[in-house]
Each structure stands twice: as structure tokens, then as C-alpha cells.
Amino acid sequence: MTASRRHHPLWTRAFHAFNVVVLLVMAASGLQIYNANPVFGGQGGPTVPELFTLGGWLAGGRDWHFGFMGLYASNLGLWIALLIQRRRDRLAHSGDLATLNASSNLAKRRVASHRVVYTLMLILLAFGLITGLAMYKPAQFWWLSGLFSFGELFGATSWHTLRVFHLATIPAIALLTVVHLALSWRIGGWLLWRSILA
């Protein structure tokens, strides 16, 4: 990075910092709900250590989770509004997917991979919001939970399948975050990390 590009724009750094806080609260409170829920940890199943949970009990976890849900949705919506056109253009027109398939330029492939992973993160976060809304307002979003009726083929209700998929967004986004950080390091190393942290 050159001296003139030492930092990302302030809004990018602020959104990243805000995202970290919101996602940590959502994940920790979600894991508290998992621990206390009679369908999962509350029935004597495996539980998550208290160090990684927030809320202390089921109602406390739900309070934190629902309290931050509006911030999560607003932040995600703003990210998508700012970036979706750019992501679509790069995927469809500039050829990130084509670069991954055909380019022999390693640097270009790394940047393209990074953008694809970032796009997948947005999609996954949106999926978490949609499944969360279906659980929060099942009467209003009955058609959403109905989409998970395929679980009945495996002996599970659509409601239970919906909960499992919603919970699965936590390890999935954690994995994508690790990949995102690793690709960022491969592209720009500590200079790139510092440009987003400070």
C-alpha cells in the first residue's frame, strides 16, 4: 500500500468495527439460547461453554438477541445497499468467477477469491436474518418456515429444521470470517489489516 492508501475510508472501518460488535453479541446470545433451549442443550445435549454465551439464561439470551436484531438488520441492509451493485458488477461483468476459473495470475485470483468470499458472507448473513425473522414471527412468516418442510423427510419438523439451519449460520460465518482474514493477509499482509483496524 502506498502512503496515500494507508487507511480504508472511515465509513468502511466504522462498519467493520460495528459489524464485529453486533455479530459477536448476536452469536453469543444465540449460543445462550441454544444452551437453554429444551430442544438443544437444555435436554441434556452438548452445550457451549458459558465463556462464549451472553444473557445467563434463556430469557436473557433472547433479550440480547432480539435487542440487537434491529441493529443487525440495519447494518446488513446498509452494507448490501452500498455494495451489492458493485459485487454484482464484479461477479457478472468484471469476471471474478471467470478469473477463478481461467486466470493464471495468482494475485488476481486471490483478489477475486476475496471478493467472492465477501459476497458469500453477505448472503449468509442475510440468510441468518431471514431464518431469524421466520422464528421470531412464525405466524406472519409461516411461508418461510414452510420452506424447511423438507426436514420431514428425515423425521424432523419444519420448525426444528429451521432452527438447526439458523443456528448453523454461526459456525458458517465464523468459517467464512477465517477465510476472509486469511485471504486479506495473503493479499496485503499486516498493512492491509492495519488499514482496516486503524
What DSSP string describes 135-177? HHSTTTTHHHHHTTGGGGGGT--HHHHHHHHHHHHHHHHHHHH
**Greater confidence, 31 or 88?**
31
Where along the chain do its domains lie?
A: 3-197
User: Distance (Å, rounded) from C-alpha 160 to C-alpha 143?
Assistant: 15
Tens digits of per-residue pLDDT, 87-130? 565 554 556 666 666 667 777 777 778 778 878 888 899 999 99
Burial of 33 (0-12, 13-18, 19+ CB in 10 A): buried
Nine-digit cell at 91? 461477479
Q: Looking at residue 29, what is its pLDDT?
A: 95
Confidence at 40, pLDDT banded by 50, 70, 90: confident
Q: What is the CATH number of domain 3-197?
A: 1.20.950.20
